[in-house]
Amino acid sequence: MMKEQPSNTENINYNYGNGNDFRYTYSTQFSDSFQKIFSEIFENEAENLTQDIQVELSLSFSEAAKGCTKHLSFDADVPCDSCNGLGYPLNSKPKVCPTCQGVGRVTIPPFTATCSTCKGSGRVIKERCRACKASGVVEAIKDVKVTIPAGVDSGDTIRVPKAGHAGRRGVQPGSLFIKLKVAKDPLFAREGADLYVDYHISFTKAILGGKVEVPTLSGKTKIQVPKGVQPGQLVVLRGKGLPKSGFLVNHGDQYVRFRIDFPTALNERQRAIMEEFAQEEVINGDYLDREVNLWQQLLERVSNPKFVVEFSLLIVILLLLIKTL
């Protein structure tokens, strides 16, 4: 009589009639693994991302036009001095990560992700830096020296790489973004890289012309006032504007706009001269008016149909007389 051999599977119940339980279990395990891997990926990416810093900087018109160097101070995360930004004491001894066995990555086929326990280093340290609470960074005042290029304007932004918040546990620091605000200037007005200056002259200078000194970014320069210059008339100083990038042109222009100052009070001699000048204007004006009237009358007569007929008859008579001679 044969004895029954004990079976290792006698306590396992197989259900061949319905596979829903198996599908549910496999689907749940797959979803959990999928979710775990991607949550670890996004978690590690979020921890590895460093924050940028944005500050505003006010500049005078001269600083923006010519360029300058500025020293900025602002609150920022900086590497911890106690642990040199590592997050653990310097005398600590790392151990092999029990999760990834020192590889730094975990694999659940078909996915591979950075180990969330050691953050990809393959080593773990149980001791924590008390100064930074294992983050590797502390809050402090950060000083940065920045070079402002010439020709910047309000609204421009300058990016300084690696001058933002320090990265946690050795991650690259973020960037510093400086938004500029340029003050108005009482003398110069700008339009892009071009400058405009209003320059006041006397009415005699406007009539007779002459040389005057006008301000520019590089100092005063002499220009010629045209004779009979009109109010608002512009004179262009090529290359005296702000720096700009362009083909064969690295500076804008400066425009001098003339403003004519008329006297509000005259002495007797000045008044007599002006009255004499006014009489000359009237005489010359009447003469010019008479010339204009004669030309207008001639044009009106020529355009009259009656004149055309009379002129044609005169031509015919002249031709007949010439033929009889």
What digits encode the pLDDT tens for the residues 239-253? 999 998 766 668 999
**pLDDT for the residue 12:** 36
pTM of the model: 0.63
Distance (Å, rounded) from C-alpha 313 to C-alpha 310? 5
Which structure tokens are listed for 44?
Answer: 């590690």
Query: What is the structure's pLDDT at 65?
Result: 93
Architecture of the domain whose range is 53-90+130-180? Sandwich (2.60)
Which carries the bigger pLDDT value, residue 263 or residue 196? 196
The phi-psi region of residue 320 (left if phi > 0; otherwise alpha if psi is between -120 and 50; otherwise beta) is alpha
Predicted pLDDT of residue 7: 41
Res 112: pLDDT: 85
Is the confidence at residue 13, as pLDDT, over 50?
no
CATH 3.90.79.10 is the classification of domain 188-261: no
Residues 181-227 pLDDT 10s? 999 999 999 999 999 999 999 988 998 999 999 999 999 999 999 99
Q: Is the dihedral of CA 158, 162, 163, 164 positive or negative?
A: positive
So what's the pLDDT on residue 64? 94
Residue 27 buriedness (CB in 10 A; 0-12 / 13-18 / 19+): exposed
Question: Fold match between 53-90+130-180 and 188-261?
Answer: yes
pLDDT of residue 180: 96
DSSP 277-315: HHHHHHHHHHHHHHHHHHHHHHHHHHTSHHHHHHHHHHH
d(CA 229, CA 208): 9
Q: Which uninterrupted H or E stretch holds 322?
A: helix 305-324
Average pLDDT over residues 82-92: 87
Report the chain's mean pLDDT, rounded to a whole number: 79
d(CA 221, CA 241): 13
In the chain, what are the domain boundaries?
22-51+93-126, 53-90+130-180, 188-261, 268-324
